[in-house]
Amino acid sequence: MKMLFSMFVTSIALPALVFAGEPVNEVCPFTGNAVNPEVTAQVGEDTVAFCCGGCLNGFIKWEDNKKAMYIAEQKAARVKAETALIVTTPYLLDTCPITGETFDSMSEPLVEVIDGREIRFCSAGCIPKFKANKEAKFKEIDAKMIAQQLPYYPIDTCVVSGDKLDAKGASVDFIYGNRLFRTCCNDCKDEFLADPAKFVPELDEAIIKAQKKTYPLTTCIIGKGTLDGMGGPDYMIVGNRLVQLCCAGCRPKVLADPLGAFALIEAGNK
């Protein structure tokens, strides 16, 4: 499925998120493997890290403008990661929230970030209609996303307190950044929303532990090679579902078409 993405812009200064001497990248630009922080190249005030000396030598041969472009891309990616955790989960429904039309291989959904959330539409005319009735439309798609993701939610305890979800009567299920989270009460929900990054890693670990046991594939759905062929597997969480890849370099294609990625994984179960 082809996607047309709107540009997500932040006004935060890029250097503020990279400390002096800290590499601008976390994965090697050649292999996609995790970098060795002791194998680096200095480009002006910026540090670039690599997985091995061979990749370092390859980088040294790059032209200056290619090096500058790579560093700029890595800084932009870090800004997005640090300031926009909320938009890291793509729109996971297969229908336009205005017309209800199903996206298919013949259509090119438009992607818009609204209140920090990625929403996909069948046409440009649907975007202002959604914005004009945001509260009701978010409520509608949230209900669908909760029902969609609930079967894959890995734990029966509150993501904040650790108490059983029914400890205070009934769980509080809500969508944050297009992803389902569950707490035992509204107080815990408020605590989560105040600092989501504090609680997301623990849930991610639970998903990996629960779902990798029955993961049906031994090859990367993007790169097609073995999951450990590039130093992986790389564990990616998309809407509380585990996607195993050969390297982090395959992640953008999953984000562009998450439902296609899910379909390939499900086909492996047949």
Give the closest residue to 62 by CA, choosing from 29, 18, 34, 38.
29
Strands 110-114 and 4-5 turn out to be parallel
* Predicted local distance difference test score (pLDDT) of residue 73: 87
Cβ atoms 86, 176 nearer than 8 A: yes
Domain extents in the chain: 14-83, 85-145, 153-208, 215-267
* Predicted local distance difference test score (pLDDT) of residue 125: 94
What are the tokens at 90?
Answer: 């793509």
* Predicted local distance difference test score (pLDDT) of residue 8: 29
- Residues 52 and 33: their CA atoms lie apart, in Å, by 10
Give the closest residue to 166 by CA, choosing from 175, 181, 156, 151.
156
* Predicted local distance difference test score (pLDDT) of residue 17: 39
CA distances from 114 to 7, 8, 135, 143, 189 (A): 12, 10, 11, 17, 21
* Predicted local distance difference test score (pLDDT) of residue 54: 94
Per-residue pLDDT of the chain (270 residues; tens, 9 = 90+): 333 333 222 222 223 333 446 899 989 999 988 899 899 999 998 999 999 999 999 999 999 999 999 998 888 776 655 544 555 689 999 999 999 999 876 667 899 989 888 999 999 999 999 999 999 999 999 999 999 999 999 999 999 999 999 988 899 999 999 999 999 999 999 999 988 888 998 899 999 999 999 999 999 999 898 998 877 789 999 999 999 999 888 888 999 899 999 999 998 766
* Predicted local distance difference test score (pLDDT) of residue 105: 61
- Residues 233 and 257: their CA atoms lie apart, in Å, by 20
* Predicted local distance difference test score (pLDDT) of residue 22: 85
Give the closest residue to 235 by CA, choosing from 266, 201, 264.
201
Cβ atoms 250, 33 nearer than 8 A: no
CA dihedral 77, 106, 175, 199 (to 10 degrees): -30
* Predicted local distance difference test score (pLDDT) of residue 19: 43
What are the tokens at 69?
Answer: 């472009």
Q: Where are the beta strands (DSSP E) in 163-240?
A: 172-176, 179-183, 234-238
**Three-class DSSP category at 199:** coil
Q: CA 63, 229, 90 angle in degrees (round to 5)?
A: 75
